[in-house]
């Protein structure tokens, strides 16, 4: 358990240590706060504090906090403040406020707060998504950009097309395993690009390593507003003590992280020695590696690429299957466009993207309707700041869900409606929902690769398959809950659907393409 307030903490099996640690931490916090030259300015409005020590801790829901923030915004405004223990947090519910602070003032808003749980699990050591802004962050980000910026991402399209074809073949042969197929697709693309590794359709060891680490990482964000996050000195207490279940969870996650970092890269190094390594990012970087420090940086950047690209792609593709099952009229309209523009004599390729505006609109609506990361990883400022007469503390959170579900921008935001991205002439408007990838210098650097992967899957599946609700033995449709998982990355809760080829021509098209690749 995580202590919910001071009373829980002092009545734990280590009351003396707990009381001293907490009292000292509060004293340091208050001292630092009072020394701020801006401390007399008010914080932005927010819910009244209920606990002298815990602040708004009891106001926070156990899951999906972005929905609570959205409701707070209706009452207190788009810029919201709340406190949990010593930690003051600002939530930005509106697009314009995010642009003003995180984009236009990126010089001071590009840092990260100290993320105790990520530190315990080892992510702060290598993942530039969580690193403090500085020399190491710039170095890792520079390496990442070298291989995944827009100008380079297009060279991976043949790999993406090949792995996407494997997905289509899987849907053709074992459609009931569609979730496994699209999870394999996401891992196969990034593992091939980064390590030159062709994943097995099921139970791939490298994929299991990474997914285990990602599961712990995403779950770690459930602890973000708990007591120990405000007073991270608690993290140094022994893991065997009662009440420190979070630390045992983190240590399990750290073992997974170390395996994800070292095992795949070690195999690439071995293959390089015997001359059998495939062309991949890891081999390119290791070719010029001259020190253990550089090797560690390479391992970190590549593991970050997997962490950033695989699970997010899985979420988006899962939402695609979810939405198409729920909204057959949308699915049919997209197919009509594909039939009119491309037909069924050849598989859709990336060169067709600009010719299919409604399919592009479906892609954008998937990103908007169910954002992959509904609540961003917090930004942190490196200096005091004032916005609209309010004092802005260190931690800033973007409520991506609120931006994507703003009824003024998107009428009836819960409705899945791709046409909101088209003008009266059927042309795409200028809303590319780029905000789902973040703001400022922390914007997702792998967004171009992710966009290409998800779009091709959407287009080719719509071209060749019908997706419908599954029926029970009485012919009655089995309902879909529509629920999503909690954590940093949101996934649709597993559901069933029926996936069938649209025609014999679709089946032959896929089999013919598979035959060409295998010869």
Annotated binding residues for heme, written as ranges, equal 444
Rounded Cα distance between 464 and 514, Å, is 14
Annotated binding site: 444
Nearest to residue 347, comparing CAs of 185, 182, 460? 460
Beta partners for 465? Answer: 501
The CA-CA-CA angle for residues 402, 405, 411, to 5°, reads 145
Rounded Cα distance between 249 and 226, Å, is 15
Rounded Cα distance between 415 and 291, Å, is 54
Q: Which residues contact 473 (CB under 8 A, 6 or more apart)?
A: none
Radius of gyration of the chain (CA): 24
Residue spans of alpha helices (H) in 36-134: 65-76, 95-98, 116-120
Nearest to residue 401, comparing CAs of 424, 353, 425, 368? 368
- Do the beta carbons of residue 258 and residue 249 sit within 8 Å? no
Nearest to residue 260, comparing CAs of 312, 317, 216? 216
Secondary structure percentages of the chain, helix, strand, coil, to 5: 55, 10, 35
SS3 481: coil
Beta partners for 398? Answer: 92
Q: In whole angstroms, what separates CA 269 from the centre of its chain? A: 29
Element containing residue 312 per DSSP (H, E): helix 292-326
Task: Encode burial over 245-271: b for 16+ CB neighbours within 10 A, e otherwise.
Answer: ebbebbeebbebbbbbbeebbebbeeb
Strand segments (E) across 242-358: none
- Do the beta carbons of residue 391 and residue 38 sit within 8 Å? yes
SS3 145: helix
The CA-CA-CA angle for residues 139, 141, 143, to 5°, reads 70
Rounded Cα distance between 325 and 313, Å, is 19
Q: In whole angstroms, what separates CA 364 from the centre of its chain? A: 16
To which residue do tokens 């893991």 refer?
239
- Do the beta carbons of residue 248 and residue 228 sit within 8 Å? no
- Do the beta carbons of residue 403 and residue 459 sit within 8 Å? no
Beta partners for 330? Answer: none
């Amino acid at each position: 358990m995580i202590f919910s307030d001071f009373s829980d903490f002092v009545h734990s099996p280590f009351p003396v240590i707990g009381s001293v640690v907490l009292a000292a931490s509060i004293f340091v916090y208050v001292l630092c706060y009072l020394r701020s030259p801006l401390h007399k300015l008010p914080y932005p409005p927010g819910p009244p504090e209920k606990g002298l020590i815990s602040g708004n801790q009891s106001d926070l829901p156990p899951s999906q906090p972005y929905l609570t923030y959205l409701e707070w915004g209706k009452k207190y405004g788009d810029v919201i403040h709340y406190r949990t223990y010593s930690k003051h947090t600002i939530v930005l519910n509106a697009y314009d406020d995010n642009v003003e602070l995180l984009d236009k003032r990126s010089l001071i808003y590009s840092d990260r707060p100290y993320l105790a749980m990520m530190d315990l699990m080892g992510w702060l050591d290598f993942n530039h998504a969580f690193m403090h802004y500085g020399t190491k962050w710039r170095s890792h980000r520079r390496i990442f950009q070298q291989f995944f910026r827009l100008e380079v991402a297009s060279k991976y399209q043949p790999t993406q097309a090949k792995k996407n074809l494997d997905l289509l073949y899987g849907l053709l042969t074992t459609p009931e395993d569609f979730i496994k197929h699209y999870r394999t697709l996401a891992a196969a693309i990034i593992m091939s690009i980064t390590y030159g590794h062709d994943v097995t359709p099921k139970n791939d060891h490298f994929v299991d390593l990474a997914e285990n680490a990602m599961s712990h990482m995403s779950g770690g964000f459930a602890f973000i507003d708990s007591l120990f996050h405000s007073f991270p000195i608690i993290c140094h207490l022994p893991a065997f003590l009662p009440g420190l279940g979070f630390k045992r969870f983190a240590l399990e996650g750290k073992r997974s992280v170390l395996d994800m970092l070292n095992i795949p890269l070690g195999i690439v190094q071995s293959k390089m020695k015997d001359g059998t390594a495939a062309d991949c990012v890891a081999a390119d970087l290791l070719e010029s590696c001259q020190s253990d420090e550089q090797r560690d940086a390479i391992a970190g950047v590549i593991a970050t690429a997997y962490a950033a690209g695989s699970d997010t792609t899985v979420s988006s593709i899962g939402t695609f299957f979810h939405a198409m099952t729920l909204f057959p009229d949308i699915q049919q309209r997209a197919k009509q466009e594909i039939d009119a523009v491309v037909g069924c004599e050849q598989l859709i390729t990336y060169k067709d993207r600009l010719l299919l505006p409604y399919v592009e609109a479906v892609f954008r609506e998937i990103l908007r309707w169910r954002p992959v990361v509904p609540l961003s990883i917090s930004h942190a400022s490196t200096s005091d700041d004032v916005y609209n007469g309010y004092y802005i503390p260190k931690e800033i959170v973007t409520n991506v869900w609120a931006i994507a579900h703003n009824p003024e921008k998107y009428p009836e935001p819960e409705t899945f409606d791709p046409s909101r991205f088209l003008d009266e002439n059927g042309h795409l408007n200028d809303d590319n929902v780029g905000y789902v990838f973040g703001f400022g210098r922390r914007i997702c650097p792998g967004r171009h690769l992710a966009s290409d992967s998800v779009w091709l899957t959407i287009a080719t599946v719509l071209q060749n398959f019908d997706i419908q609700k599954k029926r029970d033995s009485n012919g009655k449709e089995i309902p879909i809950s529509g629920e999503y998982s909690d954590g940093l990355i949101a996934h649709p809760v597993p559901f069933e659907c029926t996936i069938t080829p649209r025609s014999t021509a679709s089946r032959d098209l896929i089999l013919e393409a598979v035959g060409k690749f295998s010869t």
